[in-house]
Amino acid sequence: MENIQTLGQSQTSTLATNRLIRNTYTLLALTLAFSAVTASLSMVFQLPYFGPWVTLIGYFALLFLTTKLRNSAAGVVCVFALTGFMGATLGPILSFYLATPHGSQLVMQALGATAFIFFALSAYALYSRKDFSFMGGFLFVGALVAFFAGLAAIFFDMSALSLAVSAAFVLISSGLILYQTSAIIHGGETNYIMATVTLYVSIYNLFMSLLHLLGAFSGDD
């Protein structure tokens, strides 16, 4: 009887995990598509560069709302507001790169590399079933240090530091993809809205960092 009960609990847990994975990746796909639409509209209407401060304020305000409403239907609306806003901020940056001699090639390279890294790391975490929860503390500290270093690079106009920050965010974002996917599998994350936000931000930062590095090394940045 006890074995039957244990088996039933295991099956329930597996079903819940599979549902969480399905909901997370469905919402992630939809938000990425919506972000692409808002980025395209931002380019079509030639919106000016938002600047780091407007981007950060808008991001953290919408992230706060999303976190607060994550257990309600309004949380889904907030996710689309957040990702739509981030897509709009991306439009002017893409316009800048596309206006350079090798801009379209750089954007496609960054996009392709981002897609490859995301799918490769997600697939590895999903199929290996390894627990990457041990990376949490390191990633949090690394992201915090890189964030403040990025602010310093903007404030003091230090291009070398800016490149170092971009390289750091490539590693941190890659680590976050492994960490978040592992958390979904092993029960460390049970809310698909917050899982989606973490993966989206990781993809966004990964793409932006790769684009910055590729642009710098090509001489178009």
Give a yes or no: residue 199 inside a domain.
yes
Give a yes or no: residue 72 inside a domain.
no
Give a yes or no: residue 121 inside a domain.
yes
Cα(85)–Cα(158) distance, integer angstroms: 27
168-193, pLDDT tens digit by residue?
999 999 999 999 999 999 888 999 99
Q: Is the pLDDT of residue 221 over 60?
A: no
Q: What is the pLDDT of residue 142?
A: 94
- Cβ–Cβ contacts within 10 Å for residue 10, how many? 10
Cα(144)–Cα(147) distance, integer angstroms: 5
Average pLDDT over residues 76-97: 96
Q: Is the pLDDT of residue 1 over 60?
A: no
- The two structure tokens encoding residue 105: 């090639």
Give a yes or no: residue 22 inside a domain.
yes
Give a yes or no: residue 62 inside a domain.
no
Cα(165)–Cα(61) distance, integer angstroms: 23
Q: What is the pLDDT of residue 10?
A: 53
Give a yes or no: residue 55 inside a domain.
no
Give a yes or no: residue 70 inside a domain.
no
60-71, pLDDT tens digit by residue?
999 999 999 999
For a pLDDT cut of 70, what percent of the chain falls above it? 93
The count of C-alpha atoms lying within 13 angstroms of the C-alpha of 94, restricted to the half-sphere facing its C-beta, is 26
Q: What is the pLDDT of residue 171?
A: 96
Q: Under a CB-based contact definition with an 8 Å cutoff, are residues 192 and 75 in contact?
A: no
Total domain count, the chain = 1
- Name residues whose C-beta falls within 8 Å of residue 130's C-beta, 6 or more positions apart in sequence: 182
Q: Under a CB-based contact definition with an 8 Å cutoff, are residues 162 and 150 in contact?
A: yes
Residue type (1 letter), 27: L
119-166, pLDDT tens digit by residue?
999 999 999 989 999 999 999 999 999 999 998 988 888 889 999 999
- The boundaries of the domain holding residue 26 are 2-30+93-218
| Residue located via tokens 């239907």 | 73
Average pLDDT over residues 203-210: 96
| Residue located via tokens 């919106």 | 47
Mean pLDDT of the chain: 91
Give a yes or no: residue 60 inside a domain.
no
Q: Which of 34-43, 112-121, 143-152 has the lowest mean pLDDT?
A: 143-152
